[in-house]
Structure 1
Amino acid sequence: MLNMAMVLITTTLMILLLCSPTPSVAILIKRFELPEPVTGPESLAFDRNGEGPYVSSSDGRIYKYVDSTEGFVEYASMSPFRNTTLCDGFADFSVGQAICGRPLGLGFNHHTGDLYVADAYFGLVKVSPGGENVTRLFGPDNTYPSTMFTDGLDVDPDTGIVYFTEASTNYQFKDFQTLIDSDDKSGSLLKYDPRTGEMTVLLSNLAVPSGVAVSRDGSFVLVGEYLANRIQRVWLKGPRAYSSELFMPLAGRPNNIKRDSTGQFWISVNNFLRSPIFQRRINFPRGVRVSENRMILQSVFLIAEYGTEAASEIQEYNGTLYSGSLQASYATIFRPFF
């Protein structure tokens, strides 16, 4: 049975490779292990000094990678009244995360040093430099009581404007399996201007919007719809400002989107295919690099990184490729093998 399963997985992977432009498989270079039993480095970020990665985690904390000796250390906690007995080591999709928080998308404002966090339960959160002051900007405890599940995030490097997604106003993160089995279209793409404190809804009626990334020149922002298998583009400047269009359909479910140093985008995509042997769907995670004019430039399968577990983010920083996963206990450095 095991041999048959491996044959099936290998055959499926080969088909996907042959059908992908510039196909390759990732080679694992390094793992950054989180402190046990913490899991879920769903997103990664680097500060203005190039330190990190900083990662989100399953027990409501942000961790910062120091070096190979110290590893990850706690940087900030989403809950101002964190009970270590209750919260430490929480696994994902637990009801307790509503008390402890569950940070997902991360992004730094490199002018101020502030770290912005999309927390699944607490909404949009700002962490001051040093990780000590944590401020909730958008969420269920202020003027936005309908907030249920905040997800992806990006910060415009020039203006400091924060773009983030509200995956659903009907389901919470703990109900994720029910959400993806639904036909929910209550999600939104939002904009927060830290200079004015103004919050704006840019696009609504989205099918579980996940990742978001603003373009290098700030002229548009991309948002992925997890249930719709597509990326949409919202124009921010020019004659088409605040109009939207289909940017790219995908053969798989998109998660986080990250802009690279050349202005192109890495999209984390998970391809779920039905297995007749296991009687369930098997995932083939990959990273897809696309240009601003919608060209798919590269497709990298992450079997060596996560097996068939879902990958949540692919990010290029200073020429190095990093990846994160909601399900793993580590983040990774990898390189494509052509």
Structure 2
Amino acid sequence: MSSSLVSALACALVLSLCSVVLSEAPAFQKLPVPGSRSGPEAFAFDSTGKGFYTGVSGGKILKYTPETGYVDFAQTSKPANKIWCEGVLGTVLAQICGRPAGIAFDEKTGDLYIADAPLGLHVVSKAGGLATKIADSVDGKPFKFLDGLDVDPTTGDVYFTSFSSKFTPAQVYIAVGLKDASGKLFKYEAATKKITVLVEGLSGSAGCAVSSDGSFVLVGEFIKSKIQRHWIKGPKAGQTEEFTSNVTNPDNIKRIGSTGNFWVASVVNVGLKATNPSAVKIDSEGKVLQTVPLKDTFGDTLVSEANEFNGSLYVGTLLGPFAAVLKL
């Protein structure tokens, strides 16, 4: 073997090792939320592209820009402005203060839709302030524990999930321990204001995401480590099928623009403890394209969302005190 070939192979080996190291320890920037709030759980981005919106404990939606940091934008309850709501962590007082979980903009109207875990489905205009409650039940049955939410980019219809229809957010560990399978996927039709149940019997239905062409919606089952696909239109419209089991304990799912790919927040759930958090990119057939390890940034905290926007990956957490962003 020639010396030049040996040198070339050595260089290739060094480069490959360097890429492995970089993939194992991505350089995330931490963005701590103000005060004693916790859990920037999900993200939404408006048309300006200058920052993000996120819901935190105590019922507030915060807006973040590099110039101003975090500022109050909206809330899902009147008490959320009280000092005793601003100081709560996790799901403490969530039934009174609110706990925004899934959020997403209707890109055409500028309205922000909010799945508040204990208080129901809400909407707030681009001016912010106190959100309007759309519903906290369907067919006389309380939602109990809302979680994920997405807006169909083609119709403006809203898809959202309940993690459980039996247990509240404060009882999430009971739901996981008992392997609850009472979660649901709902649709809110913006034109008619009607809410329908699309899928029942889901096991910890955390996140959901509509495809960029509006043909289907994905819904995760955290407890079963599966993602289901519900067809919105086409020859399979109304049918639900298993999409993938390649992502362990999937939480929120977010489409990546019009690429046809999705980011999924993932952990390995052992008993009631989440370990090895990661962001997993999958394609429209459920194939894993990339995995970004998050343990160096989040430890064994339960990551709740990975959301790509303008060349950066934003990662949220259910209980942690900061969001994190990685330039891709």
CA distance in 2, matches of 1:222, 1:66: 30
Contact persistence 1:28–1:304 (CA under 8 A): no
Q: State the partner residue of 2:114.
A: 117
Q: How do 1:293-308 residues align onto structure 2 when only pairs under 5 Å count?
A: 293-308=285-300
Shift of 1:47: 0.8
SS of 1:27's equivalent? coil
Query: What are the equivalent positions in structure 2 for 1:56-71 lying under 5 Å apart?
Result: 56-68=55-67, 70-71=68-69
Under a length normalisation based on structure 1, what TM-score does the superposition of the two structures give? 0.86
1:33 and 1:71 in contact (8 A); partners too: no
Q: Distance in 2 between matches of 1:47 and 1:177?
A: 34
Contact 1:28 1:332 (C-alpha < 8 Å) held by counterparts? no
**Distance between the aligned counterparts of 2:273 and 2:112, measured in 1?**
36
Alignment partner of 1:102 is 2:99: yes
Shift of 1:93: 2.6
Aligned to 2:307: 315
Quick one: which of 74, 83, 86 aligns to 1:85? 83
Residues 3-18 of structure 1 mapped to structure 2, 5 A cutoff: none
SS at match of 1:24: helix
Structure 1, unmatched stretches of 5+, are 1-22, 275-279
Conserved? CA contact 1:251–1:271, under 8 Å:
no
CA gap of 1:316–1:143, structure 2 versus 1, over 3 A, is same
Structure 1 distance, partners of 2:247, 2:261, is: 19
Which letter maps to 1:93? T
User: What is the identity percentage for the equivalent residue pairs of Structure 1 and Structure 2?
Assistant: 39
- Where does residue 13 of structure 2 map in the other structure? none
SS at match of 2:325: strand
Structure 1 stretch 131-140 or stretch 323-332: which is displaced more? 131-140
Whether 1:73 and 2:65 are equivalent positions in the alignment is no
Q: Residues 131 and 191 of structure 1: is their aligned pair in 2 closer, same or farther, counting only changes over 3 Å?
A: same
User: In 2, Cα distance between the equivalents of 1:161 and 1:26?
Assistant: 38
Q: Deviations over 1:232-282 (max 9, x none)?
A: 0001111110101000013521100000021200011101358xxxxx856
Q: Return the offset for 1:307.
A: 1.2
> Which amino acid counterpart does residue 28 of structure 2 have in structure 1?
I
**Matched AA of 2:127:** G
Measure, in 2, the Cα distance between the counterparts of 1:133 and 1:282.
Answer: 34
* Cα deviation 1:142-176 (Å, max 9, x = unaligned): 86442210100011122111100011111000111
Match of 1:28, SS state, is: coil
Number of residue-to-residue matches in the alignment: 306
Q: How does 1:179-218 map to 2 (within 5 A)?
A: 179-218=175-214
Pick closer, same or farther for the CA change 1:26–1:108 going to 2, 3 Å.
farther
1:82 Cα offset (Å): 3.8
**What is the aligned partner in structure 2 of residue 264 from structure 1?**
261
Structure exhibiting the larger radius of gyration computed from Cα positions: 2
How far, CA to CA, are the matches of 1:35 and 1:129 in structure 2? Answer: 22
Whole-Å Cα distance in 1 between the matches of residues 315 and 185 of structure 2?
23
